[in-house]
Amino acid sequence: MQDYHYISSETLDLSKIQELISDNIRLKLSDEAVKNITDCRTYLDEKMKAQTTPIYGINTGFGSLYNVKISRENLTKLQENLVMSHACGTGEVVPVEVVKLMLLFKIQSLSYGHSGVQLETVNRLVAFYNNDIFPVVYTQGSLGASGDLAPLAHLSLPLLGKGEVVYKGQIIAAKEVMETFGWEPITLRSKEGLALLNGTQFMSAYGVHLLLKSYKLSYLADVIGSISLEAFDGRIEPFNALVHLARPHNGQLKTAERVREFLEDSELIVQEKQHVQDPYSFRCIPQVHGATKDTLDFVARTFKTEINAVTDNPNIFAKEDEIISGGNFHGQPLALALDYLKIAMAELGNISERRTFQLVSGLRGLPAFLVNNPGLNSGFMIPQYTAASIVSTNKQLATPASVDSIVSSNGQEDHVSMGANAATQAFTLVNNVERILAIELFNASQALQLRAPLKSSPFIESLLSVYREEVPFVTDDRILHEDIENSIQFLEHLSVDSEELFH
C-alpha cells in the first residue's frame, strides 16, 4: 500500500478517490504543487507593494462592498473578518466523510497556483486531513454561487484557531486541537480568506461522496433486480444481447450483460414459463437501470472536471501578470448535475418498489404477502408500504433545486445556482434508495426461498446464503423493522470491486 498521495496536477478521478478513502492514504504536496503555491504568493506580494488601484477581494471589500478600498495595514484583518463573518452555517452537521472530501478538494484546487495562498496555509489543511481533524461544517447556508461561502468559512475557521472540529469522534474547540499538536493559528495574508471561502468544495464533496455510493447502488440494483426476477419466475429473453444491440445505449447494454452473468446456470430461469411477458418493472430493467448508469457517467464527468479545477476568485496568473475577477465559483454545472443525479437515482428506487409490489401480490404461485396463513399473518404487506412512502418522499426531493434563484449581496450576486440545496437533497435521496433496495432484497429473498427446491444461479445462491445469516426466512409475523435495518446494514457493508463499479 502506498504511504502518500502527492497533490499535483495529476487528475483525481473516482477510482483514485475511492482508493484514498478505503486505504486511508495520507496526503503530501508534490514539489510541483509547492512551486505553484510559492511562486503565486511571491508574485502577489510583489504586486501588492506597488499596487495603488483596487483589486477585488485583495484590497477591497467583498460582494456589494467591492468598491470599498482597504488600507494595506488592514489586509490581514480584512481576511480574518471575512472568514468569521461568513461562518453563518446552520442546520445539521455535515458528515465527516463529506468534510474529508472538502479538505481534499480545497487542497487540490489551491495547489494549482492561481489562488495566492501561503504554503503554510495549504500545509495546515493537509495536516488536518492526515490527522483526521474535521472542521464542523453545517448543511445550510450556501446558495452555491459565490462558491459555498458559509460551509467553507466553517471549514476555514480552525486555521485561525476558531470554531469547532471533530477529532477522535468528539466535537471539540479547534483551539484545543491546536494546543494538542503545538500549532499556532495561521495569520492570513491578502487574498487568502477569499481563496479559502470562494470555491465549490461543499457541492463537490457531496457530489463525489454520492457518486461513489450511487455507482454501488446501481450495481446492487442489478443484483437485487435479478433476484426479484428469479423470485417472480421471470423470463430471460428481454435480457438477450440482440435486443440491446439494436438500441445500444451503454448503460442498457451493461445492465443486460450483468443480469445474464448473475443468472448463469440458474435452474429457475431456464424452466418453462406459463406466461409470455413480464411486467415492465422486470422486463425493462436494462432500459431503466441503464438510463441511470448513463446519467451517473455524465454526472461523474462533470465532477471530475470540477475537482481538478480552480474555483476561487479572483484568479492569479503570475506568468501572464494578470489578476482577473471572474466567476469560476458559480455552482451551476454542479447544481444541474446534482439535480440530474437525484432524478436518476429516484428512478432506481421507483422501479424497485414496483418489483416489491409485484412480489407480494399473490401472483405466479407465490402466496399473498409471501407468508403462510395470510390473514393470521400480515407477512410482507407493510414493508411495501414503507418502500412506497420512501419513493414518494424521493419524488419530492427530486424536484430540481437549480431552477430557483434568490438575489443576494444587495443585488451584486443576482443569480445563484442553489447547488448546495441540490447536494443535501441528493444526500437524503440516495440514502433513501439504499433503504428501498434493502426492502426489495428482503422481499425477494423470502420469495425465492418459496421456490425451493429449484435454485437460482450459484452467484445468487451464494450471496443469499450470507444474507440469510443476517435476515432469516420469515415463517410467522415478527418485528420486521429489525429485518429491514439488518438488510440495510448488509448492503452498506457489502463490498464491490471498483472495477465492477466504474468500468
Model pLDDT, residue 92? 97
Rounded mean pLDDT, 465-484: 96
Model pLDDT, residue 333? 97
Residue 2 pLDDT greater than 70, yes or no = no
Q: Is 88 exposed, middle or buried (0-12, 13-18, 19+ CB in 10 A)?
A: middle
The rounded distance, in Å, linking the Cα atoms of 78 and 281 is 58
- Grid cell at residue 220: 446492487
Q: Is 140 exposed, middle or buried (0-12, 13-18, 19+ CB in 10 A)?
A: middle
β-bridge partners, 377: 374
Residue type, 35: K
What does the DSSP assignment read for 330-398?
Answer: --HHHHHHHHHHHHHHHHHHHHHHHHHHHHTTT-TTPPGGGSSSBTTB-TTHHHHHHHHHHHHHHHHHT
Q: Is 450 exposed, middle or buried (0-12, 13-18, 19+ CB in 10 A)?
A: middle
The rounded distance, in Å, linking the Cα atoms of 301 and 304 is 5
The catalytic residue among 4, 6, 43, 56 is 56
43 catalytic? Reply is no
Q: What is the CA radius of gyration of the chain?
A: 26
* 33: confidence class by pLDDT, cuts 50, 70, 90: very high
**DSSP structural state of residue 503:** -
**DSSP structural state of residue 23:** T
The rounded distance, in Å, linking the Cα atoms of 205 and 208 is 5
- H-helix or E-strand containing 300? helix 285-307
Model pLDDT, residue 68? 63
Residue 5 pLDDT greater than 90, yes or no = yes
Residue 363 pLDDT greater than 60, yes or no = yes
Q: What are phi and psi of 413, to 5 degrees?
A: -105, 80
- Grid cell at residue 470: 443476517
Rounded mean pLDDT, 153-181: 97
**Nearest-CA neighbor of 252 among 216, 219, 212, 292?**
292
What tens digit of pLDDT does each residue of 246-261 get? 999 999 999 999 999 9
Model pLDDT, residue 86? 95
Residue 66 pLDDT greater than 60, yes or no = no
Model pLDDT, residue 374? 81
Rounded mean pLDDT, 287-296: 98
Model pLDDT, residue 72? 67
Distances (CA, A) of 81 to 222, 373, 375: 51, 69, 67
User: Cell 472542521 maps to which residue?
Assistant: 135
Model pLDDT, residue 413? 81
Domains of the chain: 4-199 (1.10.275.10), 206-502 (1.20.200.10)
Model pLDDT, residue 49? 83
Percent of the chain that is helix, strand, coil (3-state, to 5) = 60, 5, 35
Rounded mean pLDDT, 136-143: 97
Query: Are residues 130 and 48 in contact, defined by beta-carbon separation less than 8 angstroms?
Result: no
* 61: confidence class by pLDDT, cuts 50, 70, 90: low
What tens digit of pLDDT does each residue of 178-237 get? 999 999 999 999 899 999 999 999 999 999 999 999 999 999 999 999 999 999 999 999
Rounded mean pLDDT, 57-76: 67
Distances (CA, A) of 344 to 144, 201, 287, 491: 21, 23, 12, 20
Interhelix angle 285-307/332-359, rounded to 10 degrees, is 150
- Grid cell at residue 493: 457493508
Model pLDDT, residue 51? 72
Model pLDDT, residue 63? 61
Q: Would you give the end-to-end CA distance of the chain in angstroms?
A: 22
Query: For 65-79, 307-321, 361-375, 474-488, which range has the lowest pLDDT when averaged over its residues?
Result: 65-79
* 76: confidence class by pLDDT, cuts 50, 70, 90: confident
Q: What is the 3-state secondary structure (H, E, C) of 132-197?
A: CCEECCEEECCCCCCCCHHHHHHHHHHHHCCCEEEECCEEEEHHHHHHHHCCCCCCCCCCHHHHHH
